[in-house]
C-alpha cells in the first residue's frame, strides 16, 4: 500500500479493488497478473465444481490466511445467479468490474445455445443490473468492462471497427451482441461508466485446448515426440486476426482509466488463415503439416465466419495501446510451451505411468 511521509504523518493510499468474473480463464489469469502488478486487490468469482479448474492462477494464489500477502481472493458465484452477483458487489465494494466470464466456445454454442445465451447475454445483464443497483444504494462509482468479441461481426466484411455493423453467425456471437448493447444501454440510460472491449482473437499458452490454435500446438508437440500422428481439423481457410492475450488485457485496463466510458476494438490489424498457422507452427519444428493434418467435416460450423480483421485505430489513438507480440512470435511461444508439456507426457508414458490414449 502506497504511503507518503511529510515529516509528521504517513498518508496511506487505499488499494484499488477489482472484481473479475472468469478469473480462471485465459484472459482472467493475465488480467489478474496485470492488476496485481499495479497494486490492486483482486477478487475473482468462480463456479462451484467438483474438480478445481484454477490451474491458470495457481502460480499467483496465496492462502487467504496470509492476509498481508493474499491480494487475490476467490469467491463462489455464477452469472446465472443474480443474488450472488449483488451480494459480492456489496461485500467487495470494487472500484472496477471486469466481466470476462462466458461459455466462449463458438462451436459448442451451437450444441448448448440456451445455456450460452443465459450466461453470455443474460448473465451480462444480471451483472450490469447488480452494478447499477449497488451504485444507487451505496452512492459509489463503479467502472464496468464488458468482454466483447470479433465474432459479433461475423459475416460483415473486414476490416471491422467500432462502427462496423454486427452480423453474428453463432449463438455465442449473437449472445455477445446482446451483452454489448445491454452495456451501451446501461451507459446511456443510467450514466454507468461501462465500456465494451471488442477483442479480436487472442491466444497464448494458456488458451483452452479445444480452441483451434491451442489444438494445433498441443497436437504438434505430441507429434514431435511420437505420442500422436494425426491432427483432425475443419476449415483451414478461415482467416483470423490473432494477437497475444497478455497484450490485450492491458487494453481492458486502459479503457477503465479514461475519463469517459466508450467502446474499443482491440486487434493486431493483421489477418492469417488456419493454414498459415499450421505452416508457421509445424515449420518451426521442421515438420510438414500436410503429413499429419486431415480434414474432418464435424469441425465445420453450421454457419462459417470467413474473415475477421480488426481496425484498432481508436484504441491506438485514445488509449495509446498497441500489440507487442506479433503473429510468428505468438505461434512460436505456444509451440515452445506445448512441446515441453509433450516431453513431460512422453516421460510418463515411457515409464508406464500414463497411457498415451491420444488421436491416431
Catalytic residues: 149, 151, 172
CB 293 within 8 A of CB 233: yes
* Contact between 179 and 151 (Cβ < 8 Å): no
Q: What angle do CA 201, 205, 209 make, to 5 degrees?
A: 75
**Residues in the chain, total:** 360
φ and ψ at residue 96, rounded to 5 degrees? -135, 140
Report CA 215 to chain centroid distance, whole Å. Answer: 17
Do residues 96 and 143 lie in contact, with contact meaning Cβ atoms separated by under 8 Å? yes
Backbone angles phi, psi at 95, to 5 degrees: -85, -30
Non-local CB neighbours of 255 within 8 Å, separated by 6+ positions: 145, 195, 197, 261, 262, 264, 319
Q: Which CA distances in Å does 115 have to 82, 101, 118, 129, 153?
A: 15, 13, 5, 20, 21
The values of phi and psi at residue 305, to 5°, are -110, 115
Burial bucket for residue 127 (CB in 10 Å: 0-12, 13-18, 19+): buried
Please give the Cα distance from 230 to 235 (Å, whole number): 16
Position of cell 449473437?
Answer: 174
Cell reading at 121 = 447475454
Amino acid at each position: 500500500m502506497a504511503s507518503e511521509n511529510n515529516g509528521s504523518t504517513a498518508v496511506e493510499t487505499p488499494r484499488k479493488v477489482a472484481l473479475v468474473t472468469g478469473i480462471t480463464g485465459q484472459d482472467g489469469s493475465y488480467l489478474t497478473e496485470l492488476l496485481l502488478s499495479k497494486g490492486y486487490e483482486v477478487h475473482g468469482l468462480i463456479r462451484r465444481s467438483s474438480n478445481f479448474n484454477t490451474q491458470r492462477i495457481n502460480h499467483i494464489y496465496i492462502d487467504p490466511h496470509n492476509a498481508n500477502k493474499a491480494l487475490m481472493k476467490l469467491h463462489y458465484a455464477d452469472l446465472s445467479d443474480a443474488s450472488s452477483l449483488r451480494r459480492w458487489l456489496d461485500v467487495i465494494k470494487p472500484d472496477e468490474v471486469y466481466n470476462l466470464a462466458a461459455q466462449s466456445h463458438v462451436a459448442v454454442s451451437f450444441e448448448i445455445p440456451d445455456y450460452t445465451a443465459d450466461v453470455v447475454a443474460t448473465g451480462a445483464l444480471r451483472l450490469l443490473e447488480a452494478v447499477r443497483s449497488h451504485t444507487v444504494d451505496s452512492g459509489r462509482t463503479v467502472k464496468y468492462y464488458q468482454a466483447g468479441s470479433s465474432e459479433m461481426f461475423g459475416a460483415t466484411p473486414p476490416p471491422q471497427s467500432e462502427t462496423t455493423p454486427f452480423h453474428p453467425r453463432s449463438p455465442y456471437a449473437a449472445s455477445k451482441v446482446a451483452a454489448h448493447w445491454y452495456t451501451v444501454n446501461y451507459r446511456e440510460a443510467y450514466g454507468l461508466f461501462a465500456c465494451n472491449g471488442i477483442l479480436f482473437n487472442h491466444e497464448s499458452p494458456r488458451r483452452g485446448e479445444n480452441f483451434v490454435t491451442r489444438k494445433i500446438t498441443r497436437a504438434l508437440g505430441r507429434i514431435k515426440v511420437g505420442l500422436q500422428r494425426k491432427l483432425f481439423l475443419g476449415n483451414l481457410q478461415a482467416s483470423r486476426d490473432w494477437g497475444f492475450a497478455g497484450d490485450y488485457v492491458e487494453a481492458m485496463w486502459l479503457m477503465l482509466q479514461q475519463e469517459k466510458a466508450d467502446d474499443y476494438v482491440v486487434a493486431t490489424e493483421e489477418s492469417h488463415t488456419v493454414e498459415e498457422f499450421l505452416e508457421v507452427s509445424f515449420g518451426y519444428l521442421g515438420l510438414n503439416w500436410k503429413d499429419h493434418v486431415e480434414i474432418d467435416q464435424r469441425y465445420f460450423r453450421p454457419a462459417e465466419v470467413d474473415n475477421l480483421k480488426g481496425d484498432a485505430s481508436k484504441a491506438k489513438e485514445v488509449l495509446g495501446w498497441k500489440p507487442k507480440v506479433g503473429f510468428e512470435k505468438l505461434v512460436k511461444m505456444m509451440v515452445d510451451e506445448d512441446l515441453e508439456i509433450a516431453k513431460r507426457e512422453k516421460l510418463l508414458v515411457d515409464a508406464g505411468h500414463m497411457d498415451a490414449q491420444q488421436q491416431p
